[in-house]
Amino acid sequence: MAWFTKTRKPIAPTDKVSRVPEGLYLKCPGCSQLIYNKDLAANLAVCPRCAHHFKMSASERLAMLFDGAYAVHDADLVSTDPLEFTDTKPYKTRLETTIAATGMKDAVMTATGSLDGIETVIAAMEYAFIGGSMGVVVGEKITRAIERAHALGAPVVIVSCSGGARMMEGALSLMQMAKTSAALARLDRAGLPFISVLTDPTTGGVTASFAMLGDLNIAEPKALIGFAGPRVIEQTIRQKLPEGFQRSEFLLDHGMIDMVVDRRELKATIARALLFMGARRSEPPGPSAAAALGVDAAGETA
């Protein structure tokens, strides 16, 4: 259960003395119902009543998609604060506090393992790390992950969750757009598949580079996906934006993405697509996403 409870805040305690232990229930922002934590965990952090998709951490994503153990790459790469940037506080301090809070050195995890028996390189972005922003380290780790897949002859899956380029690294962060895109072009020339998974939110320089370059671009339901935010666009064009603008379903209707897939179907959908695109299983088919997390249908942790 620890994989799940540690990343979501419990409901604030009331003044009344409660017999329910703290953190046992969560309030769903989609339907305002109280959800038993175990029910949510058994459901891959999707509300059982209204299918609201809660955010997942990078490590939860990897655990959900891989069949079992996986090898993490480049976990020690860390930003050097090349511009010695300061906004409301020094970037160096911001990095230090975020590293301490998340236990990660930057906003992406990259790893190799089996996805339903297919050897796959997966990158998962971490929103809790400065809004999942892409700086030099994120760009370098994603590029290395793609190059590693290229050398292995394996497909790539990138799960995006990002506010865009990391402004504290200025133009260096923008260069990561070109760098990751160039690596993906080489992967494409080698005939290896890349599946992009866009989750809530995927915006800015991430949308404007690798997140939209998948052979298949899959979004989770109701995810915010766009370049500039809706408020900025409204102020610029002085027009009211249509209902559901920049959400997955709207983008599917307008041809910006290929599929909207419920998280509970995501692993099976990715595996099916990879096999269709010519990937081969090197191991027998793996367990379902929920089973890979050690959670059975009743919500009990194995």
Which residues here bind Zn ion, judged by CB under 5 A? 28, 30-31, 47, 49-50, 52
List of residues 6+ apart from 216 with CB closer than 8 A:
193, 195, 196, 258, 259, 273, 277
- Minimum CB separation from Zn ion for residue 48, in Å? 8
* C-alpha to C-alpha distance for 121 and 147, rounded to whole angstroms: 10
Smallest separation, CB 272 to Zn ion (Å): 28
Q: Hey, CA dihedral for 220, 222, 223, 227, is it positive or negative?
A: positive
Q: Tell me how far, at minimum, the Cβ of 231 lies from Zn ion, in Å.
A: 26
Omega before residue 193 within 30° of 0, cis: no
How many other C-beta atoms can be found within 10 angstroms of the C-beta atom of residue 278? 10
Helices and strands, number each (H, E), in the chain: 11, 9
CB of 27 to Zn ion, least distance (A): 9
> Measured from the CB atom, is 11 or 31 closer to Zn ion?
31
CB of 52 or CB of 150, closer to Zn ion: 52
Helix (H, G, I), strand (E, B) or coil at 71: strand
Strands 216-219 and 259-260 come out as parallel
192 Cβ contact partners less than 8 Å away, ≥ 6 residues apart? 149, 150, 153, 154, 155, 156
CB of 34 to Zn ion, least distance (A): 10
Cα–Cα distance between 213 and 182 in angstroms, integer? 11
Q: How far is the CB of 28 from Zn ion (least distance, A)?
A: 3
If the CB atoms of residues 39 and 258 are measured against Zn ion, the closer one turns out to be 39
**11/277 with CB nearer Zn ion:** 11
Q: Which is nearer to Zn ion, 32 or 88 (CB)?
A: 32
As measured in angstroms, the least distance from the Cβ of 29 to Zn ion is: 8
- DSSP assignment string, 211-275: GG--SEEEE-TT-BB-SS-HHHHHHHHTSPPPTTTTBHHHHHHTTS-SEE--HHHHHHHHHHHHH
